[in-house]
Amino acid sequence: MEDLVIRDADVVDGSGDPAYRADVVIDGGRVVSIVQEAAAAGCQRPKARRELDAEGLVLSPGFIDMHAHSDLALLRDPDHSAKVAQGVTLEVIGQDGLSYAPVDDRTLAEVRRAITGWNGHGDDIDFGWRSVGEYLDRLDHGFEGQGIAVNAAYLIPQGTVRMLAVGWDDREATPEELGRMRRLVAEGMEQGAVGMSSGLTYTPGMYAKDAELTELCRVVASYGGYYCPHHRSYGAGALEAYEEMVALTREAGCSLHLAHATMNFGVNKGRAPELLALLDDALAAGADITLDTYPYTPGSTTLAAMLPSWASEGGPQAVLGRLGDDGTAERVRHHLEVIGADGCHGVPIEWDTIEISGVSDPALTEYVGRTVQQSADLRGEAPWTTARRLLLDDRLGSTILQHVGHEENVQTIMRHPVHTGGSDGILQGAKPHPRAYGTFPHYLGRYVRELGVLSLEECVAHLTGRPAARLRLPDRGLVREGYRADLVLFDPATVAAGSTFEAPRVLPRGIPYVLVDGRFAVEDGRRTDVLAGRAVRRTAA
């Protein structure tokens, strides 16, 4: 007898097709049969060791977070309810060109310091790996060999690769250095990575010219992977930055997935249709393009990411040295406030849009929840003085919310047929962006039920089947016989994000059951102790 039958579920299968009523039977971590209501009339219904009455609930594939920053959280927190409670069963990590494999001892220390604001110091993590394969093995074994909370796929971080081969210098790679980067990318793909990411407003990845990126993308394409760039601007020059990525990947013959594909800042208000027209033209010409977004207007990153690239050359210690020098700090201020630093997407910074969401040093918590402008006003000083002090005192570890988005752009982009969902959720800080805890139920509650921007079937396809297709996963992302039983049951009448900007760590409502590999990770609305997640490795091209 099979393990479980989920009875009388309204199945939204991830394909975009209409929902149907069915009994779904699970055994050995897979869906073994689906008996639709019409076919079951007059027949004996399937039985199993356990039956779950799903009357009034939607059964869908587990949600795939196409842009996650859980690289250390998956190894730090076995509960990981920030994602599990949302119905996420797979996260794509290694984002924005900066993560923890491949590394050597020097690079590991540097990257840990550089992205403390994203993932914490990592003092509680045993960094026993150096290669991509060793990191994926570490995820497989998880906590005492049991595994991790959800499945994880990995992107090779181009900035980390450049850190290994070139260092932090703003210069072109030599032929020998480019050859080493190509080998590192090939090794990572062979060891199971699904593609490569870049952070082209973050150092040192941003120092790579298009020719260098194209050569690395050729390697990714030879393994059937995709390129996932955080491109060079989401503000002034955003459309040109999108065009650059489209042209680069077409030249390399590589699939393209645009990370957090937004159009932000005042210069881009109402311009989402221009982006989509660009993508439609490329798709019509044969390009393979997808994108992800989160259903919120503010962005989130580190305060140090706002700095101009010249001030970030040489790595974190060099940055702190420049900020400590009055003359150089004044040059930084001028670029930020007058010229528009490339770290701030070419737009002069508006300090009243920069809210501090977290600090690494607990002694600095007074800044959290206030904009830089508000803290400066309280101190009676210029906002750059406040920002500079915080950068120095927190050793570049502060995270921010940047309130520069536009709701009409968010809604326009999420309607596009190549759109997928990604939280871009940073789990660090006292007041993180609510997207970390709320992205997927917010899509279902706000944008499906309340606003009708997407139908339920279409939205679920954006969050499940389409990302699985991008990842080339042959047995995930759909409710199908033979597919992995990574599933979520939610109430379409009540599902909603609990997290808000005021209380960002509140768990969602209306998601009583989540299964990872056929085992209940959430049961009756409560997190179980199941750790069924594993590293999901690239399938053969």
Same domain flag for 251 and 336: no
pLDDT of residue 421: 98
Residue 480 lies in a domain: no
Omega before 46 cis (within 30°)?
no
DSSP class of residue 18 equals P
Nearest Cα neighbor of 227 from 244, 240, 239, 203 is: 244
pLDDT at 518 over 80: yes
pLDDT (mean) for 445-451: 98
Range of the domain at 323: 302-401
User: For 148-159, b where at least 16 C-beta lie within 10 A, e where not — what string?
Assistant: bbbbbbbbbbbb
Q: What is the reported pLDDT for 49?
A: 95
254 with 133, same domain: the answer is yes
CA distance 461 to 468: 10
Q: Are residues 318 and 355 in the same domain?
A: yes
Amino acid (one-letter) located at 272: A
Domain end position, chosen among 474, 497, 516: 474
- pLDDT-based confidence at residue 109 (cuts at 50, 70, 90): very high
Residue 239 falls inside a structural domain: yes
| Pair 417, 339 in one domain | no
**233 within a domain of the structure (yes/no):** yes
- In this structure, the answer to whether residues 290 and 306 fall within a common structural domain is no
- DSSP conformation letters of 139-192: HHHBTTTSBBSSEEEEEEEHHHHHHHHT-S-SSPPPHHHHHHHHHHHHHHHHTT
Q: Is the CB of residue 500 less than 8 Å from the CB of residue 433?
A: no
Domain-located, residue 499: no
Residue-level pLDDT at 293: 98
Do 268 and 292 belong to one domain? yes
Using alpha carbons, select from 236, 232, 193, 220 the residue that is nearest to residue 288: 220
5 domain-assigned: no
- The answer to whether position 518 is within a domain reads no
328 and 395 together in one domain: yes
| Whole-number pLDDT of residue 41 | 65
Domain termination residue (choose one: 474, 499, 522): 474
Q: Is residue 198 part of a domain?
A: yes
Of 427, 457, 474, which one is at a domain's C-terminal end?
474
Question: Are the C-beta atoms of residues 59 and 10 closer than 8 Å to each other?
Answer: yes
> What is the model's pLDDT at position 126?
95
426 and 375 together in one domain: no
Report the CATH number that the domain containing residue 97 is assigned in CATH: 3.20.20.140
Taking the C-alpha atoms of residue 161 and residue 180, their distance in angstroms, rounded to an integer, is 9
Number of domains within the chain: 2
Q: Is the dihedral of CA 248, 250, 256, 259 positive or negative?
A: positive
- Both 288 and 432 in one domain: the answer is yes
Residues 208, 209, 215, 217, CA torsion sign: positive
One domain, residues 111 and 253? yes
Judged by average pLDDT, the poorest of 390-394, 429-433, 434-438, 490-494 is 429-433
Whether 493 is covered by a domain: the verdict is no
Condensed to tens digits (0 to 9), the pLDDT of residues 244-271 reads 999 999 999 999 999 999 999 999 999 9
- Statement to judge: residues 161 and 255 lie in one domain: yes
Share of the chain above pLDDT 90, in %: 96
Same domain, 85 and 113: yes
> What pLDDT is recorded for position 137?
97
What is the secondary structure of 83-117 as a DSSP string?
HHTTTEEEEEES-TT--SSS--HHHHHHHHHHTHH
